[in-house]
Amino acid sequence: MDTLDTLWLARALHVLGVVLWIGGVAFVTTTLLPAIRRDFPVAAQLAEFERYERSFGRQARWTTQLVGLSGLYLIWKLELWFRFQSPGYGWMHAMLAIYLLFSLLLFVLEPLFFHKLLRRLAARHPALPMTLLARLHWLLLGLSLLTTAAAVAGAHGWAPGA
């Protein structure tokens, strides 16, 4: 397979990974969390969220890594490392930052600390974990959508400060 054959495939996998990953974050933020908060008693909300989140967590972990690997491949094959030295390509930095943030959350903080912390909070303040989860998800979704919009614009010629 020559470079052109692999580039279209890498781009397609990259975009599909972003759609699945950020689309999932949007679903959890705008639909799942509000539904759980509306339809379940406060004492049961965290357990319900964790039940659904396990499935999404698996999907989010593999899609973030698909996005990371395909993005790295594109940077390597197209020799785009120079973009990280220019403020005009700040959207590249934003994509990397979002990827690293989600990877840290999904692979380190969530499995090792976050669930335990939420359960401890729920024991003292039953409604607080869901409030924090909703706010965190809105923040992550906002940052992700802003980064996605900037990356699409940047990939199609927008380069502020260049």
Query: How many contiguous H segments (helices) and E segments (strands) does the chain have?
Result: 6, 0
Q: CB atoms < 10 A from the CB of 6, how many?
A: 13
The pLDDT, as a whole number, for residue 158 is 80
Q: What is the mean pLDDT of residues 132-138?
A: 97
Cα-Cα-Cα-Cα dihedral sign, residues 100, 106, 112, 116: positive
The pLDDT, as a whole number, for residue 155 is 87
Q: Say if CB 71 and CB 154 are below 8 A apart.
A: no
**93-99 contacts, C-beta under 8 A, 24 or more apart:** 94/146, 94/147, 94/150, 94/151, 95/71, 95/147, 95/151, 97/147, 98/143, 98/144, 98/147, 99/64, 99/67, 99/68, 99/71
With bands split at pLDDT 50, 70 and 90, how would you rate the model's confidence at 3? low
Q: Say if CB 75 and CB 81 are below 8 A apart.
A: yes
Q: Which of 51, 66, 71 is nearest to 20 (CA)?
A: 66
Structure confidence by residue, pLDDT tens digits, 80-114: 999 999 888 999 999 999 999 999 999 999 999 99
Residue 1 has pLDDT above 80, yes or no: no
With bands split at pLDDT 50, 70 and 90, how would you rate the model's confidence at 4? low
Distances (CA, A) of 54 to 28, 60, 83, 141, 146: 12, 10, 36, 19, 26
Q: Say if CB 24 and CB 63 are below 8 A apart.
A: yes
Q: CB atoms < 10 A from the CB of 26, how many?
A: 14
As a whole number of angstroms, the distance between CA 14 and CA 4 comes to 15
